[in-house]
Amino acid sequence: MVTWRRPTSDSAKTSDIDRRLQRAFEPGQLGSLTLRNRLIRTAAFEGMSPGGNVTPALIEHHRRMAAGGVGMTTVAYCSVSSDGRTFEHQLWMRESLRRGLAELTRAVHDHGAAVSLQLGHAGSFASRAVTGSRPIAPARTFNTYSLTWSRAMTRADLDRVREDFAKAARWAREAGFDAIEIHAGHGYLLSQFLSPFTNPRRDGFGGDDPSRMRYPIEVLRGVREAVGDEYPIVVKTNLRDGFRGGLDLDTGVEVAARFAREGATALFLSGGFVSKTPFYMLRGPLPVRQMVAAQRGVLRRAGLRVFGRFFVEEYPMRKLFFLEDARRVRAATTVPLILVGGIGSNDDIVQALEAGFEFVALGRPLIFDPDFPSRLRRGEIRRTGCTYCNECIAEMDRGGVRCTDPGAR
């Protein structure tokens, strides 16, 4: 017997989504940390740290994120070592930075949000012009991103950088950060160890999948020992590198599950490799003209203008673009998972949460409008006004990330 049902009206669908959206604004747990809601500002580079320092602009950026209603905001890419930097206007952890970091965490806490610090090392991506030293990496390689030959890390290098991660995490906790994020994705140093493309070592730290995981796991264990059993550690890891010969999905799932078993509180699921597939993690158009205008050096401007579209592949923007791959990780582990990628509406958030992901991460929608979470909650809007033009990326090199759309708030 078939039961006839009245067709659902658009207004009824809207009301249903609005009811289901309420879960996004319920508290969420990251281990011992309770976030006021399930929305996280992803660690998108701000470009607001000239000289590697905390500036009033950086503090204000994250204060606005907190005031706008996110559950947690993430300060992007603080290098754990002076030789792990790609840009001069990038944070790097040292004694003199701690006071500024503490000021930033207080500003965020004053608005009721939590704050995390992303910790990483660029490996072969590091700029010799910035660091004054030859980049280190799993193996000697020429990197087209930094235009530099790297040298293979020695055992002493491995030990030093591992201790730098641990010390940086401990100092972040003392500065008031509620969590830290270990950057093990996007082709940075730990990702370089995980990827078959960049790690041909034969000394127990490369070769097969378990050996390639060894050093990132050592780093995670060292950080866990430094901050204690209860402190939240998020690990950002790749689902795929996005090119042939790189980390594939099967191995990406295995890596994620291993991080969870070894002490990660939560996993941030992403993808892409800065030197090979930088827009795999973003999607949408490549703003070559704006990026050329932001470059300081004549050669860099000329090279980007001529070769930018040849070397950087574009990927069409679509909503929830990591969701299907990330479902594989959801089936492989029970730790909280953070989904990123093409999340810009009530419907997107509801779909992610109902697929089993505890948190969603937002980048460009919050750059367009830091009040996006609060306005969603009040029912003022249903989707972001961001067009995903990616022009905000070029602004990172012109004083700090911002939206160029005249309608941005």
Q: What is the pLDDT of residue 296?
A: 59
Identify the pLDDT of residue 302. 43
The structure tokens listed for 52 are 């590697």
Cα–Cα dist 302/185, whole Å: 29
Confirm whether 188 is a catalytic residue.
yes
Highest mean pLDDT out of 264-273, 283-292, 398-407: 264-273
Check residue 240 and report its DSSP letter.
-
The interaxial angle of helices 155-174 and 98-109, nearest 10 deg, is 40
pLDDT of residue 197: 96
Write the single-letter amino acid at 12: A
- Per the DSSP assignment, residues forming a β-bridge with 116 are 74, 179
Q: How much of the chain exceeds pLDDT 90, in percent? A: 83
CB-based contact 4:203 (threshold 8 Å): no
Is 202 a residue whose pLDDT tops 50? yes
Per-residue pLDDT tens digits for 363-379: 999 999 999 999 999 99
For residue 70, the 8-state DSSP code is -
User: What would the pLDDT profile of 1-49 be if each residue is shown by its tens digit?
Assistant: 223 233 344 455 666 778 899 999 999 999 999 999 999 999 999 999 9
Q: How would residue 301 be classed by pLDDT, with cut points 50, 70 and 90?
A: very low
Residue 303's pLDDT band, with cuts at 50, 70 and 90, is: very low
Q: What is the mean pLDDT of residues 325-342?
A: 98
Look at residue 289 in the predicted model and tell me its pLDDT.
Answer: 65
304 — pLDDT class (breaks 50, 70, 90) = very low
- Asked if the model's pLDDT at residue 216 lies above 90, the reply is yes
Rounded CA-CA distance 71/359 in Å is 10
Confidence of residue 391 (pLDDT cuts 50, 70, 90): very high
Single-letter code of the amino acid located at 142: F
Contact between 182 and 235 under an 8 Å Cβ cutoff? The reply is yes
Task: Catalytic residue, from 188, 231, 280, 388: name it.
Answer: 188
Query: Closest Cα partner for 360 from 383, 337, 384?
Result: 337
Domain architecture of the chain: domains with CATH: 24-395 (3.20.20.70)
Q: For tokens 């796991």, what's the residue?
A: 217
